[in-house]
Amino acid sequence: MICKLALEDGTVFTGQAFGAAGTRAGEVVFNTAMTGYQEVITDPSYCGQIVVMTFPLIGNYGVNAEDIESGGLHLSGLAVKELPRRPSNHRATGDLAACLAERGVMGICGIDTRALTRRIRVHGALRGVLSTEVLDDVKLVQAARSAETMAGANLVTRVSPAKVRSWDERSDDSSASRARACHLVAIDCGIKYNILRHMAHVGDRVTVVPAFASAADIRALAPDGVIVGNGPGDPAAVEETIATLKALLGEIPMLGVCLGHQMLALAAGAHTYKLKFGHHGANVPVMNQPAGRVEITSQNHGFAVDASELERCGGVVTHVNLNDGSLEGFALPERNCAAVQFHPEASPGPHDSGHVLRAFVETVRRGERVGAEVFQSQVR
């Protein structure tokens, strides 16, 4: 079946459909990870986006029940160059095309993803439309131009759970120490399962609350520390969660991850801005300044924190992106919190920053204030 991907700049790519049929719109972004496509498509942070995988062969090892990062697929579509029809891996329990079809997600294959990626790098993330129904190029381009923009979009409401829940599943990392009980609360704005697994392993008890939980709701749980997780859309639009964080700053130790990094900065009084094409991949180099080392990180975000604004609010810059110089981590020692823009749980990706969650919990256990020192841990 023919499928077309039209961009708002007038470019149209024609390929073959896989997954679901129909018409879907979204912001078109590219991801540079060579493996981990199942973790990518199940990451709620891709809500409202059509993801282009730059690695040419996607789907070769199939899918399985162990590598998912959420309860569903939230992305608008997936674009790949070559889709193997027969996956080959001893862990596979299904194939990528069937996985997308079962969950109503569209895919397009057989297009020049290199040309598409170069266009996004030059012009920035573009709105696009995938369709197996409307094959008229002019109509598709018009539809792309009228699609929702990511700036100002509160997409957290689409992926955050409705109820409080406990999380018991732990990671298989055997290096962590659990010297005494530590109750962690995770604010779920679209948080990935592997962040929760790591929290359960390095902590003792993990309670997951919706993004709209109030400061009073969180205080009632009596947490030792709070993790503000990843999620989709414009951080500045998630006003309810930002208000909660503002009320809790300085009261409960907090660690922000990805969207949580941005919202903690906003709660402190800093500003965010939209990146040209974002950071989406498993190979992004970041300078960890407190530790004096470079870490290769997994990332997925389209917005960043203004570093000068953060410093004006009393923040300390701890991590810097070595590709574009953008802010990748900070500490607010006077407000007992720290944050990283990347995904320390590495799902998918390298484990260079796997120490972050463990170091945060150990700091909380010792009763110390959270500052830049949490990033000085040795990589394990």
pLDDT tens for each residue of 222-277: 999 999 999 999 999 999 999 999 999 999 999 999 999 999 999 999 999 999 99
Average of per-residue pLDDT across 47-72: 97
Tokens of residue 157, six digits:
């409401």
Which domains can be identified in the chain, with CATH numbers?
A: 2-145 (3.50.30.20), 156-375 (3.40.50.880)
Predicted confidence band of residue 175 (pLDDT cuts 50, 70, 90): very low
Taking residue 60's Cβ as centre, other Cβ atoms within 10 Å add up to 18
Decide: 278 and 125 in contact? Cβ < 8 Å: yes
Nearest 5°: CA angle at 90, between 62 and 281?
A: 45
Point out the catalytic residue in the list 3, 109, 182, 258: 258
- The pLDDT value recorded for residue 168 is 86
Q: Is pLDDT at 180 greater than 90 in this prediction?
A: no
Q: Is pLDDT at 377 greater than 80 in this prediction?
A: no
Catalytic site includes residue 337: no
- The pLDDT value recorded for residue 227 is 98
Taking residue 367's Cβ as centre, other Cβ atoms within 10 Å add up to 8
Predicted confidence band of residue 209 (pLDDT cuts 50, 70, 90): very high
Residue 45 per-residue DSSP state: G
- Asked whether the CA dihedral 244, 246, 252, 254 is positive or negative, the reply is positive
Catalytic site includes residue 182: no
- The pLDDT value recorded for residue 174 is 44
Q: Is pLDDT at 30 greater than 80 in this prediction?
A: yes
Average of per-residue pLDDT across 17-44: 97
Counting other chains too, the contacts that 86-90 makes at CB distance below 8 Å and 24 or more residues apart are 87/59, 87/60, 87/61, 87/62, 87/63, 88/60, 88/61, 88/62, 89/60, 89/61, 89/62
Predicted confidence band of residue 172 (pLDDT cuts 50, 70, 90): low
Point out the catalytic residue in the list 189, 345, 355, 362: 345
Q: What is the pTM of this model?
A: 0.94
* Rounded-to-integer distance, Cα 103 and Cα 19, Å: 8
Least confident of 88-92, 97-101, 179-183, 325-329: 179-183
Decide: 177 and 70 in contact? Cβ < 8 Å: no
Decide: 211 and 180 in contact? Cβ < 8 Å: no
Catalytic site includes residue 258: yes
Q: Is pLDDT at 176 greater than 50 in this prediction?
A: no
Predicted confidence band of residue 170 (pLDDT cuts 50, 70, 90): confident
Decide: 186 and 209 in contact? Cβ < 8 Å: yes
Percent residues over pLDDT 90 in the chain: 93
Decide: 373 and 362 in contact? Cβ < 8 Å: no
Decide: 355 and 379 in contact? Cβ < 8 Å: yes
Average of per-residue pLDDT across 342-350: 93
Percent residues over pLDDT 70 in the chain: 97
Q: Assign residue 203 a region: left if phi > 0, alpha if psi is -120 to 50, beta otherwise?
A: beta
Q: Give helix 239-248 / helix 259-268 axis angle, nearest 10°.
A: 60
Average of per-residue pLDDT across 166-171: 86
Residue 333 per-residue DSSP state: G
Point out the catalytic residue in the list 27, 343, 355, 362: 343
